[in-house]
Structure 1
Amino acid sequence: MTTTTTAGSHQDAAVRHVLDAVRAGRDHELPGLVGPLDPPARRALLAELKALRAEARGWEWDRWRERDALRAGLLVAGAACHTGAAAAAAWIGARDLRRWPGLPTDLLLDVLADRDPAWLGDVARRLADRAATAADDYAFISGLLRISGGPVPTTDAFVHGWVDSKGITLDLHDDPYAPELVPRLFETAEPAPALLWRAEPDNPEHWPSGLVSLAEAGVVERRTLVDGCTARLLRGGRPQQLSFYLVLLRRLELTAAEEQERAADWIAMAADGPAPVAGHAQEVLARLALAGALTAGQLAEMSSLVLFRPEKKFVRAQLVLLGKVLRRDPDARHELLPAVAGAFGHEDTALQERALKLVAAHLKPQDEALREELADQARALSPVHRPLAVTVLGAGAAGDPGEADLPYEELLPHVPVRRRLGATPSVAETVELVVAVGKARTPDLTEFERALDGLVRHARLHRAELAEALRPALAGRWWIGSEAHAGRRPAGLDVVAAAVLGLAHPSDLRIDRQRPSGHHHRDCVHEALGRVLDGRLREAGQRILEDPLPFLLATPSWDTGSLEPDELTARLAQYRQVGVRPAPHDFAQALLRVRRDPAAAAAAAALDTSEGRRLARWLGSDGEPAAAIRRVREPGERAVHWWERAGQAVRRIVVETGDRLLLQREFPAAFHPLGRPQREQTRCYHWTGEAPLRWAVLPEDRETQAAWMLPALTGCAVTEERGAAAELPRLAELGGPAGPALHLAVATGLGARHGEDRLSAVDALLLLAARGELDAPRLGRDLAELLSLGTVKPTRLADALRTAASTGAYATTWAVLAEALPTLLEDPAAHRGTGELLSVAADCVERTGATGPLPPGLADLATRRGTTQLLTQAARLHTALTPPPPTTDPEIRGTAA
């Protein structure tokens, strides 16, 4: 008995020593301290370690050093105490027990060395299955495998960890995992990042050379590498991700037989692959075709796909290849010439002409059926090539009789229909909306406003019922019953929900307790809009606790955030009737949202209340937006931060809003920044997910919002920034005048570097046109100025306007281009890409039949000799804009009649 008690006390003391070492961060002592513990002592120690872990989770942020010092000790000691493989793997994989730079591999392997090999292999497998941590844990997992002798895991993360472990010196020949993991390099969902960093073709220590040497040594089959590369390239992806597989494929130097065997793969890559992949596939197929290893049918299939690509270099190279094959094998024309006709619809009229001349060179007089087929396809040609097409292919190439006499019809998108916000939600619906808004990454404005409206209305009439329904629905929110977050307050709509539940104190909801903006946010309008939103929510919560409102004045009428003036007047009348004092932030937001209709001012003034009189004045002159100042900022003006220098290295247009003294005098303090002059913003960082709620603060002032958006749009045009134009279509849907700032914002977006931003600007342009709000000459003049400053590049603008025109808006696009072209034609050599813009302009004029004054400089350019795209398209536009001379010969006139 004494011996047992003594042994137990020794074990208790040993447990305390382990805990002391863990708390003190003496991790190196743990293998020696944990090793002698018997199973009961380890179970007791594990319970203490779990309690310590839970305690550390609740520590405040200022104890982060103490918490960080505990992690490795908790990890090592806890791993040694677990008896189940699943529990041990879960403990080792826990994020809260990890320290930078990773697991304490040596200590873990030391404390687990005495375990059964099968158990160690099971832990290794489970850790390899953890996608979030397996790559980081590769060294430890491989150590377990070395001890246990278990099978090699092949999960994506373990493969990535294996690749990362190779370091600078790549030696795969002695790696025991290579035969199992090399085939997996081509099958992981994402390629291992280290493959992309070390993929120079000729470097013997980089992956392509290392894998080729493995194939030469017979460690892996050559076919595995070839098939893996082709399969990965066929799968597609970003060019950077595919670069490694393309380099490896070139490094393998496929034989003619290997290339011919995969002809279908090359055709698929040439059709749909990114430019580098498609270029390689086209090279291989061209080599096969010229060697006679590709059938006419295969070449025709390939050509019909490649000629459909927008890249001119691929189309040009394919037409050259087809010409070579047709000269060598004229009988192949029946299969190849219909494929050549695929280029008749290409956006580049020079390539259309080349394809038509190729058809003319190889079509035989006896090919009547083929001629008829090609004539039907020739209707896709630009009108400038129709005469030659008729000469080569016959009258069928001219199109249907009378088609040319049909009037042009502009096609514009349907104007989005505004939606009413909907009826007041019930208690159950309000709870559902609150939960949905809280979970949404990007809150929907309609859901947010209906949820807020429901909370305020039901808190006055059915607060107990609302609270009873809210509490279980919001049980997962951190601010409900959590002592660990003492001192922190909920944000967003949760502020109002907390007030309904009685979990917010009035002093915490005071508007003047809003935290001031951080130093780098002091000029950020997004921060200012967010403070307005936060102030409105705090005020709503405070009124629920002290003086509940029957409803909110600022709840929008429409899904854009706009509020009808007669609705606001009716709400103010109800407030007067029941004797409710309007909430200042709510009323201020209502004024900013109301549609300004001077005809509604009389009804507002007739209320004979201070708010009614303010509304009447606001519907008149008080609501006028501040005047904006437009100027050109020179590159010499100093950038505020080093990261802004790239964006300020070019001349650019800035629009600075002026003072709105009324907002600073009569509105609550949270609104004052919106009334101060906004100079060109410095770079700011903000949560973009709240954009729909922030822009709805000023839904009837597109001009101000466009001026605020302009610096970010300019960044998208002159730097690698992206995404700022995504809000342009939404901005175009809002109310208020579509004035100079909005047109300048759309013009800048049309010249953005990235295609998705240009598409958003095109959507905004077409939406303004469909609503009858587009001032095309103004937009054209803005583009001319941006082109002359270098903010917008002609090639990017051509891509955007070609997209706009191709939707059916050729007349709109020409109206814009007619004002922009004179600036480019003054010195076309200084603007690379002018020929592409002339091509878009010529296409628009040919399709619409527009005539009119020639842009200055076009006539001179059109008479110059040469075959460049600039001169070719200048002559084409000149011809399209110049009406044919009237026919005076009576005989000819009679024939025409």
Structure 2
Amino acid sequence: MRAGSTGDVVRLLDEMTDGERRACFPELQLLRKELRADLWSGAARRACPALQVAGAGCQTGAAAVATWLSANDMRWWQAASEVLLDVLGDRDPTWLADLAHRLAGRPMTARVPYALMAGLVRLSGCAVPTTEAYVHGWLQDIGSIWPTGDTVTDRLRKDPHLAELVAALFETRDVGGWLGWPDEGPNSWTYALPQLTREGRLDRVAVVDACVARLLRGGRPADQRAFLKLLTALDLGPDEQRARIADWIALCSDAPSTVAAHAQSVLGTLALDGELAVRDLAEASVAVLFRSEKKLVRAQLVLLGKILGRDPSGADELLPAVAQAFGHDDTDTQKRALKLVERHLGDLDTLGDSARVRAELVDATTQLSPGLRQRAEQLLDVAPQEPVHDAHTVHEEVLPPAPRPTRLAPAPRSAAELAEEVGALLAADGDVSAFERALDGLVRHAHQDSAGLIDALRPVVARCWWYEPDQLYIGKDNFFRESPHGLEVVLAALFDEVSTETLHRAVSRGSTYGHCPHSGLSRAVEARLWEAAYRIRTQPLPFLLATPTWSTGLLEPDELIARLDAYNKMGVRPGPADLAQALLRVRRDDRAAAEDAARAARKMGTAEADRLARWLTTAEPSPSTRRRTSGPRILLEFGEVPVRHADFPPEFRHLWQPVSFFTNRWHCRHWDESERQHWTAVVPGRPELVAGRLLRDISTVAVDDSRGGTAVLPALAEAHGEPGEAVHLGVAYGLGARHPEDRLAAVDALLVLAARGRLDADRLAADLGELMQSGAVKPLRLAEAIRTAAATGAYATLWSVLRGTLPILLAPLAADGAVKPVRGLGDLLAVAAECAERSGARGDLPHLGRTADRRGSSRLVTEARRLRDALGQGAMEPGGDGERAA
């Protein structure tokens, strides 16, 4: 085996009895343990395949052999499946069947070869497994047509288990990548499966039903695309389509847009051919018109218009369905639906139940935008249900309650409770409060009873890779020398899994990474964690000084003074990083309270208390800023902040160094979003300092279509302290983000700023206008974000922003009528009109009149006229400029 002579191993196994084989197994285990110490060595690569064969041959239980063959350390250097089948082939067929199903039941990460599983099925004659691992292996094996030269269709024809495995295919996850490639031809699955149904080798009804059921069940986009393509390739006939009307309606309601569009087209064809009952069409229409995709909604309205134009007798069932679109976010869609109701409202007079239908339509008009609602109320001859806004109408703005900071609960008193909280943090990153409580709890319990703490934490750290006894891939000390990895370095120090020398080097030298805009914040967090781990190993602290009082990260001065006094009485030397972090967190905005606390600190007579007194009585100056552009980006550069550096260790001095996105490196290792949630608590009360260092990262969500960069914006909006240019610029980028979840984070930040009375609408409006002019923010994305924010009821807040943004975009159109408007400006005007209508805004908007008086009926012109009417500007006189100051 050490020589890698697999053939000799097979020969020796053939000459041995079962008893002799079992007697050899303990030595095989010893060799396996030896090789596992360095799986990437040449010796391991040579010996592991032969060792796998020997272990499979020297065990008699199917369960033991399955465990041996699928072990983690066996997956990298495996023996050929033909050799393993030769060694195992003389076993009883029942035993082979048991082994085949056990191997097929292993997760795909075990990388059990399909050839081995299929060979065992062939030798045993058992039923074919239909597990995820087996079906994926079968897919890959059938799709690998190059060695044989035949096609996927040919190979499927020869498969003895075709029906069973095709049926399992529709029940298996993540198969879209194999089904969707290649796109077409005899080597594609979307050609082969329909062809086999035509040949009668597969039951067509079963395949169609399974495909539709898979689409109904949902799944990953790649799977949905592949099964939709297969369903399209099956080319269902009219009878097959009629038999599944309920399925098409369900797909219209809940499926992804591409699948829903296919179901919609099928139902549309049936409806136009007179093969779909009016009630079914109404049910499908309600499902489609409830969706947010404008393309689907408009296509359904067009279909309903055609059906009602052909046969008005279905108006009593179809018009209430049309009214479902009255609640759509897009006002243009609302207008299309209202026009359709206007066109066919008279058809109700010939029907017996017209009063009921009119009552339903009246109820639905409450969902329309104010301008359209008045038109609908006139159409239906009902009294207005809400007063029309006039100059004396007061709009009641709806904003979320301003977030209030909460006090941190004390650290868990028992080691068992602390272990639970630490386990939760390791499984999913918690907020600052949970992290700080857990860190302080680890320090406290390590000082009081380290043995009891270790016993309580042992089940928690058992899941950590560095706690494994035979760790193979990377040195633990190197891992923690590069980064503390949150609480893990403290836990590793408790369990003696990182050396004291490594911790001392990290504490004395700090981070080894180069300077980037984030380094000041990250180095402060890392220095404190390394120091806590080192002190646990050398001089345990009774508690931490820097544990904040509030969830925002602020620390009350009297609490810090009490902690320093306790340290002094116990003769404990504070950790430099912990003390520095405590100084940065101590509250200083109440000058009178800060002066009182400084006097109390001076009375203590210690060096640390004197540092606190100096810090409390010194106002930190704001850094100078400079606005710079880089391509479409607008960024800020910060000058150096003059502070007394002697009061802070070297790792903290980076916080006050200049930040330039043109000289500092910005490609760095700080890509993990979970790290950034702690940065706002490094310097609580200074959101600008954090936002300025993250501005480049935030801008990527709009400029580079990246994901996740805006997660920090709500925390910056909630932070104690005054938000300035950097925070507002970050929100502007977030509102133009590519991905909806990033836009939602920016919307949250905007609403929080407004609720706290700290939103500078003029500043945000100017930033948005400038970013849209440069192309960094697209109006269509901004319109979606504003629409989401306005849906909460903050119409006046959003109008205050749009009022300053729109003139910047409309100015070029007013100056030159031939200028082509930017894409999405019509959508932005529609949202602005909605906000103006609902908030009762009045007054002139620069350049709006000239845009509204442009020729044509484009979305831009239509919405500009609607906004002009909402603001009460009136039409522009011919030859006049119509542009009065707002």
Fold in common (TM above 0.5):
yes
**Given the alignment, which residue of 196, 210, 221 partners 1:214?**
196
788-797 or 595-604, which deviates more: 595-604
Structure 2 gap ranges (5+): 146-150, 814-819, 876-886
Match for 1:670: what amino acid?
E
- Please report how far the alpha carbon of residue 610 of structure 1 lies from its aligned counterpart in structure 2 after TM superposition: 3.7
What CA distance in whole angstroms lies between the structure 1 residues aligned with 2:103 and 2:555?
56
Aligned to 1:866: 856
Aligned to 1:70: 47
818-827 or 499-508, which deviates more: 499-508
- Please report how far the alpha carbon of residue 192 of structure 1 lies from its aligned counterpart in structure 2 after TM superposition: 4.8
**Given the alignment, which residue of 22, 32, 46 partners 2:25?**
46
- Please report how far the alpha carbon of residue 131 of structure 1 lies from its aligned counterpart in structure 2 after TM superposition: 2.1
Match for 1:97: what amino acid?
M
- Please report how far the alpha carbon of residue 269 of structure 1 lies from its aligned counterpart in structure 2 after TM superposition: 1.2
- Please report how far the alpha carbon of residue 715 of structure 1 lies from its aligned counterpart in structure 2 after TM superposition: 1.6
Aligned to 2:259: 277
SS for the counterpart of 1:629 is strand
Aligned to 2:104: 128
- 2:784 equivalent to 1:794: no
Kindly indicate whether the alpha-carbon contact (under 8 Å) linking 1:437 and 1:447 is maintained by their aligned counterparts in 2.
Answer: no
What CA distance in whole angstroms lies between the structure 1 residues aligned with 2:365 and 2:213?
37
- Please report how far the alpha carbon of residue 809 of structure 1 lies from its aligned counterpart in structure 2 after TM superposition: 0.7
- 2:129 equivalent to 1:149: no
Aligned to 1:603: 596
- Please report how far the alpha carbon of residue 106 of structure 1 lies from its aligned counterpart in structure 2 after TM superposition: 2.2
TM-score, scaled to structure 1: 0.87
Aligned to 1:13: none
- Please report how far the alpha carbon of residue 342 of structure 1 lies from its aligned counterpart in structure 2 after TM superposition: 1.6
Match for 1:618: what amino acid?
W
Aligned to 2:93: 117
Map 1:3-18; keep pairs closer than 5 Å: none
What CA distance in whole angstroms lies between the structure 2 residues aligned with 1:696 and 1:316?
48
Structure 1 residues 115, 628: closer, same or farther in 2, change over 3 A? farther
- Please report how far the alpha carbon of residue 718 of structure 1 lies from its aligned counterpart in structure 2 after TM superposition: 2.2
Q: Which has the higher contact order (CA 8 A, sep 6+)?
A: 2
Match for 2:52: what amino acid?
L
Kindly indicate whether the alpha-carbon contact (under 8 Å) linking 2:623 and 2:638 is maintained by their aligned counterparts in 1.
Answer: yes
What CA distance in whole angstroms lies between the structure 1 residues aligned with 2:258 and 2:459?
55
- 2:532 equivalent to 1:540: yes
Aligned to 1:775: 760
Aligned to 1:373: 360
- Please report how far the alpha carbon of residue 884 of structure 1 lies from its aligned counterpart in structure 2 after TM superposition: 7.5
Aligned to 1:640: none
SS for the counterpart of 1:142 is helix
What CA distance in whole angstroms lies between the structure 1 residues aligned with 2:736 and 2:313?
47
- Please report how far the alpha carbon of residue 582 of structure 1 lies from its aligned counterpart in structure 2 after TM superposition: 2.7
SS for the counterpart of 2:629 is strand
Match for 2:289: what amino acid?
L
Structure 1 residues 652, 401: closer, same or farther in 2, change over 3 A? closer
Aligned to 2:10: 31
- Please report how far the alpha carbon of residue 663 of structure 1 lies from its aligned counterpart in structure 2 after TM superposition: 7.3
1:564-587 CA-partner distances (Å, limit 9, x unpaired): 233223333444455543321111
SS for the counterpart of 2:400 is coil
**Given the alignment, which residue of 437, 442, 452 partners 2:439?**
452
**Given the alignment, which residue of 378, 385, 409 partners 1:399?**
385
- 2:228 equivalent to 1:234: no
Aligned to 1:656: 637
1:121-164 CA-partner distances (Å, limit 9, x unpaired): 22111111112247752121112222222211111221111111
What CA distance in whole angstroms lies between the structure 2 residues aligned with 1:750 and 1:253?
43
Match for 2:103: what amino acid?
L
- 2:139 equivalent to 1:163: yes
1:203-227 CA-partner distances (Å, limit 9, x unpaired): 2321111001110111111111211
**Given the alignment, which residue of 309, 312, 325 partners 1:330?**
312
**Given the alignment, which residue of 467, 470, 476 partners 1:488?**
476
Structure 1 residues 342, 497: closer, same or farther in 2, change over 3 A? closer
Kindly indicate whether the alpha-carbon contact (under 8 Å) linking 1:433 and 1:451 is maintained by their aligned counterparts in 2.
Answer: no
1:380-412 CA-partner distances (Å, limit 9, x unpaired): 22222244323421024x325689886311111
Aligned to 1:551: 543
RMSD (CA atoms): 2.9
- Please report how far the alpha carbon of residue 837 of structure 1 lies from its aligned counterpart in structure 2 after TM superposition: 0.3
What CA distance in whole angstroms lies between the structure 1 residues aligned with 2:660 and 2:363?
58
Aligned to 1:140: 116
Kindly indicate whether the alpha-carbon contact (under 8 Å) linking 2:552 and 2:681 is maintained by their aligned counterparts in 1.
Answer: yes
TM-score, scaled to structure 2: 0.88
Aligned to 2:844: 853
SS for the counterpart of 1:725 is coil
What CA distance in whole angstroms lies between the structure 2 residues aligned with 1:478 and 1:290?
62
1:757-794 CA-partner distances (Å, limit 9, x unpaired): 11111111111111111111111111111101111111
- Please report how far the alpha carbon of residue 109 of structure 1 lies from its aligned counterpart in structure 2 after TM superposition: 1.9
- 2:56 equivalent to 1:79: yes
- Please report how far the alpha carbon of residue 471 of structure 1 lies from its aligned counterpart in structure 2 after TM superposition: 6.5
What CA distance in whole angstroms lies between the structure 2 residues aligned with 1:754 and 1:487?
38
SS for the counterpart of 2:157 is coil
- Please report how far the alpha carbon of residue 751 of structure 1 lies from its aligned counterpart in structure 2 after TM superposition: 0.7
- 2:660 equivalent to 1:676: no
Aligned to 1:362: 344
**Given the alignment, which residue of 273, 291, 299 partners 1:317?**
299
Structure 1 residues 777, 283: closer, same or farther in 2, change over 3 A? same
What CA distance in whole angstroms lies between the structure 2 residues aligned with 1:719 and 1:28?
56
**Given the alignment, which residue of 237, 240, 248 partners 1:266?**
248
122-131 or 413-422, which deviates more: 413-422
What CA distance in whole angstroms lies between the structure 2 residues aligned with 1:288 and 1:388?
34
Map 1:462-541; keep pairs closer than 5 Å: 488-489=476-477, 492-493=486-487, 495-496=489-490, 507-510=501-504, 512=506, 522-524=514-516, 529-541=521-533
What CA distance in whole angstroms lies between the structure 1 residues aligned with 2:320 and 2:237?
31
- Please report how far the alpha carbon of residue 705 of structure 1 lies from its aligned counterpart in structure 2 after TM superposition: 1.7
1:58-108 CA-partner distances (Å, limit 9, x unpaired): 34x8x64433333222212211211111111111111211226x6521221
Kindly indicate whether the alpha-carbon contact (under 8 Å) linking 2:175 and 2:223 is maintained by their aligned counterparts in 1.
Answer: yes
Aligned to 2:402: 415
What CA distance in whole angstroms lies between the structure 1 residues aligned with 2:857 and 2:675?
52
Match for 2:24: what amino acid?
L
Structure 1 gap ranges (5+): 1-21, 635-650, 886-897
What CA distance in whole angstroms lies between the structure 1 residues aligned with 2:315 and 2:438?
68
Structure 1 residues 377, 589: closer, same or farther in 2, change over 3 A? same
Structure 1 residues 379, 572: closer, same or farther in 2, change over 3 A? same
What CA distance in whole angstroms lies between the structure 2 residues aligned with 1:663 and 1:151?
78
What CA distance in whole angstroms lies between the structure 1 residues aligned with 2:53 and 2:588?
68
- 2:276 equivalent to 1:299: no
Structure 1 residues 24, 690: closer, same or farther in 2, change over 3 A? farther
- Please report how far the alpha carbon of residue 36 of structure 1 lies from its aligned counterpart in structure 2 after TM superposition: 1.7
Kindly indicate whether the alpha-carbon contact (under 8 Å) linking 2:517 and 2:666 is maintained by their aligned counterparts in 1.
Answer: no
Aligned to 1:878: 868
- Please report how far the alpha carbon of residue 173 of structure 1 lies from its aligned counterpart in structure 2 after TM superposition: 1.2
Identity of aligned residues (%): 48
**Given the alignment, which residue of 178, 190, 193 partners 2:174?**
190
What CA distance in whole angstroms lies between the structure 2 residues aligned with 1:612 and 1:623?
19
Aligned length: 839
Structure 1 residues 269, 394: closer, same or farther in 2, change over 3 A? same
Aligned to 2:563: 571
- 2:37 equivalent to 1:58: yes
Match for 1:581: what amino acid?
R
SS for the counterpart of 1:654 is strand
What CA distance in whole angstroms lies between the structure 1 residues aligned with 2:458 and 2:558?
37
What CA distance in whole angstroms lies between the structure 1 residues aligned with 2:389 and 2:869?
20
Aligned to 2:630: 633
Aligned to 1:894: none
Structure 1 residues 145, 746: closer, same or farther in 2, change over 3 A? same
- Please report how far the alpha carbon of residue 302 of structure 1 lies from its aligned counterpart in structure 2 after TM superposition: 1.3
What CA distance in whole angstroms lies between the structure 1 residues aligned with 2:425 and 2:444?
19
1:243-288 CA-partner distances (Å, limit 9, x unpaired): 1111111111111111111111111111222111111111111111
Aligned to 1:288: 270
- Please report how far the alpha carbon of residue 833 of structure 1 lies from its aligned counterpart in structure 2 after TM superposition: 0.3
What CA distance in whole angstroms lies between the structure 2 residues aligned with 1:73 and 1:530?
49
Match for 1:669: what amino acid?
P
SS for the counterpart of 2:12 is helix
What CA distance in whole angstroms lies between the structure 2 residues aligned with 1:875 and 1:671?
56
